């Protein structure tokens, strides 16, 4: 059997499982399992081995259970960088690249400290670190699994200016003496409403860690905590960048905490996705 024939078979199978972009995923899985490039795949000349076929079938079985493609591959690309991941850590989304890009733009003229709350794979912290090796970054997450991946990814991307710490938001910083004033606090916290999780795609609700998704009954639990205490940890001219699901709710919380909006950035779908704030 040629790789192209196997590709067509896998495409049909993935489509029958309800996978939205079955041909694209089939292409990724075939090239991943065999090590061939797309040109060889579509030439129709590459014959797959029995070992190739077994490896492909094993991957297809995993995908049939709606295991996320990124967990199967074991990595994801984010702003051109590679991040290893697996079950137990949130998969970085393309929308979060907007947050990281805005953080990089904001830091252009600063050389101090950055705090990345709910760091997950470390994708935001590492993207910043690659652009600003002179900036010191703290990445905090409550998940031990996530921090193992974050530390692995920092080594993978050769970033030495990040300190990953386990803890609940600001809690591990309270013992730091002297207290660091952060030029930027950035976060992509959990913001899915508790009741909405059951209606998410199987890849999300059945595989990704609930604690990285669940933002409480209204999706705003972590924003209340982050914005309620951010002044204690910001430098004099420090700012806060947040990825949001409900921009109005977050802005209301900011107003309650005497913070003002500097800018709101929309994603490609026109949804207000990133909010930039500072003390009023």
pLDDT, one tens digit per residue, over 124-153 is 999 999 999 999 999 999 999 999 999 999
Query: Nearest CA to 249 among 278, 215, 279?
Result: 215
Does 174 have pLDDT greater than 90?
Answer: no
Q: What pLDDT does residue 154 have?
A: 98
- Bond before 9 cis per omega within 30 degrees: no
Q: What is the full DSSP assignment across 132-187?
A: -TTSEEEEEES-HHHHHHHHHHHHHTT--SEEEEESSTTGGGTT-SSPPPEEEEEE
pTM: 0.92
Side-chain-facing half-sphere of 230: CA atoms under 13 Å: 36
Three-class SS of 52-97? HHHHHHHHHHHHHCCCCHHHHHCEEEECCEEEECCCCCCCCCHHHH
Q: Which residues pair with 115 in a beta bridge?
A: 138, 185
Distance CA 34, CA 277 (A): 48
Distance CA 103, CA 180 (A): 19
Q: What pLDDT does residue 177 have?
A: 54
């Amino acid at each position: 059997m040629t790789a192209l024939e196997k590709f067509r078979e896998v495409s049909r199978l993935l489509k029958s499982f309800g996978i939205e972009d079955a041909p694209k995923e089939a292409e990724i899985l075939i090239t991943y399992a065999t090590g061939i490039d797309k040109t060889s795949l579509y030439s129709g000349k590459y014959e797959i081995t029995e070992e190739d076929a077994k490896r492909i079938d094993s991957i297809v079985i995993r995908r049939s259970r709606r295991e996320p493609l990124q967990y199967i591959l074991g990595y994801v690309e984010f702003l051109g960088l590679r991040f290893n991941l697996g079950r137990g850590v949130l998969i970085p989304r393309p929308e979060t690249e907007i947050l990281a890009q805005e953080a990089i733009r904001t830091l252009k003229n600063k050389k101090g400290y950055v705090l990345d709350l709910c760091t997950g794979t470390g994708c935001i912290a590492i993207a910043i670190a690659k652009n600003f090796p002179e900036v010191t970054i703290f990445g905090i997450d409550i998940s031990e699994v996530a921090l193992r991946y974050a530390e692995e990814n920092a080594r993978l991307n050769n970033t030495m200016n990040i300190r990953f710490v386990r803890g609940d938001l600001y809690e591990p910083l309270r013992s730091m003496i002297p207290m660091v004033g952060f030029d930027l606090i950035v976060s992509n916290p959990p913001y899915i409403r508790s009741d909405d999780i059951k209606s998410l795609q199987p890849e999300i609700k059945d595989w990704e860690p609930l604690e990285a998704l669940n933002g409480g009954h209204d999706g705003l639990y972590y924003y209340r905590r982050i914005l309620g205490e951010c002044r204690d940890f910001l430098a004099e001219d420090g700012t806060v960048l947040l990825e949001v699901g409900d921009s109005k709710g977050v802005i209301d919380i900011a107003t309650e905490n005497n913070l003002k909006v500097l800018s709101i950035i929309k994603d490609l779908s026109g949804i207000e996705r990133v909010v930039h704030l500072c003390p009023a």
